[in-house]
Amino acid sequence: MSLPIPFIDFIPKVYKDNSKDSTIALTNKVDTHLTEWLNDIIQLAWLRDPFKINVLFLETLGNMLNAGLVSTDTEAQKRNKIALAVQGHKLRGSFELDAKPKIDAIAGGDSQISRSFDKDDWILVGDGLTPTAFYWAALGVDGLDDELGISLIGEGTEIEVGGNIYIDVDNSGLSTAEVDQIVLELSLDIVPAYFIVNIGYLDGTGAFIIYAGGVIS
């Protein structure tokens, strides 16, 4: 696309031959506007490209796609959310394609659902009185008719209990604001009803550390 630039070459010869400072200032201004308008026209083709679209239109595009943009998102996070919005809607609630990209964009790691494949069926719990003592199960009387039996004890929040999800964000140094943002992201139609999701990380011993404020229920 050709434009009349420099514009001074397209004005009547009499003005160009006798150009004054005001004439030069005017034609320079026209050159600036013509260049800006050309760029605006070219960028219309970018309105569907989340990585090229003008930053001024990110909110509009994000709202159109229900990309879940929040005020704390950076420009890069907004673009990434928009790029993955349609895929996320198709597989809403999927960890790999919906939750994980949102977590990794904030935590900067390789988040994973923490599982316990090497544990027995019994739930590992404590009695709340002796911090160093743990039980797989308690064998004793029921307190009513002195019958012998097995009683499983626990808070119900153990990793082996269905519905308790532990997500290792692969970052032990998140700020409170970053944890809050992850919780907000997962609370937006990702965490299933009646599930408890714990946000944390694995320390050097392999223990799962839950971030303060990192529990969604």
pLDDT digits (tens, 9 = 90+) for 120-140: 444 445 555 544 444 445 444
Q: pLDDT grade, residue 55 (50/70/90)?
A: confident
Residues with Cβ within 8 Å of residue 163, at least 6 apart in sequence: 194, 195, 196
Bridge-partner residues for 113, per DSSP? 167
Q: Which residue has the higher pLDDT, 151 or 25?
A: 25
pLDDT at site 123: 45
166-194: burial string, b at 16+ Cβ within 10 Å, e else: bbbbebeebeeebbbbbbebbeeebbeee
Per residue in 166-212, pLDDT tens? 999 999 999 999 999 999 988 877 887 888 899 999 988 888 899 99
Question: In angstroms, rounded to a whole number, what is the distance separating the alpha carbons of residues 124 and 136?
Answer: 5
Kindly tell me if the per-residue pLDDT of 82 is higher than 70: yes
